[in-house]
């Protein structure tokens, strides 16, 4: 069954600290993996997109890693800011069958001053 599981479900950190969010998937065949940030009451915004051959990709203070062998990805946030408070959604796209896209439930991050 094609699934995307994220952990933790929610996370509270202090401003300035780093954190890492996890994403495990069982989607096969794999095409690409994306991380989105979704602020409350808004649509998701793309942070990174990685294909099979990419191990890491950065977007400012956000760094995503991908291990296609173990089917795991992580999103590392450096020097967190209050504006990082949001849901972070991992999305995996299948390589065939109409390019089916499977969304994780997201990790809710709270950054406190």
Partner 1 sequence: DTAVSQTPKYLVTQMGNDKSIKCEQNLGHDTMYWYKQDSKKFLKIMFSYNNKELIINETVPNRFSPKSPDKAHLNLHINSLELGDSAVYFCASSRLAGELTDTQYFGPGTRLTVL
Q: Which x/- pattern, by CB under 8 A, does the window 19-58 give for partner 1?
A: ------------xx--------xxxxxx--x-x-------
Minimum gap (Å) between residue 87 Cβ and partner 1? 7
Three-state SS letters, 64-102: EEEECCCCEEEEEECCCCHHHCEEEEEEEEECCCCCCEE
Pairing of strands 19-25, 72-77: antiparallel
Select from 10, 105, 110, 112 the one that contacts partner 1 (CB under 8 A): 105
Q: Give counts: helices (H), strands (E), the chain.
A: 0, 11
For partner 1, the binding residues (CB under 8 A) are 31-32, 41-46, 49, 51, 87, 89, 91, 93, 98-101, 103, 105-106
């Amino acid at each position: 069954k094609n699934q995307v599981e994220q952990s933790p479900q929610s996370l509270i950190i202090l401003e300035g600290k780093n954190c890492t969010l996890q994403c495990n998937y069982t989607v096969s065949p794999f095409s690409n993996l994306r991380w989105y940030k979704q602020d409350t009451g808004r649509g998701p915004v793309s942070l990174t997109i990685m294909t099979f051959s990419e191990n890491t990709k950065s977007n400012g203070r956000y760094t995503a890693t991908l291990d296609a062998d173990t089917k795991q990805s992580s999103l590392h946030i450096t020097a967190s800011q209050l504006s990082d408070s949001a849901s972070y959604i991992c999305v995996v796209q299948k390589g065939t069958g109409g390019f089916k896209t499977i969304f994780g439930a997201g990790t809710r991050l709270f950054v406190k001053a």
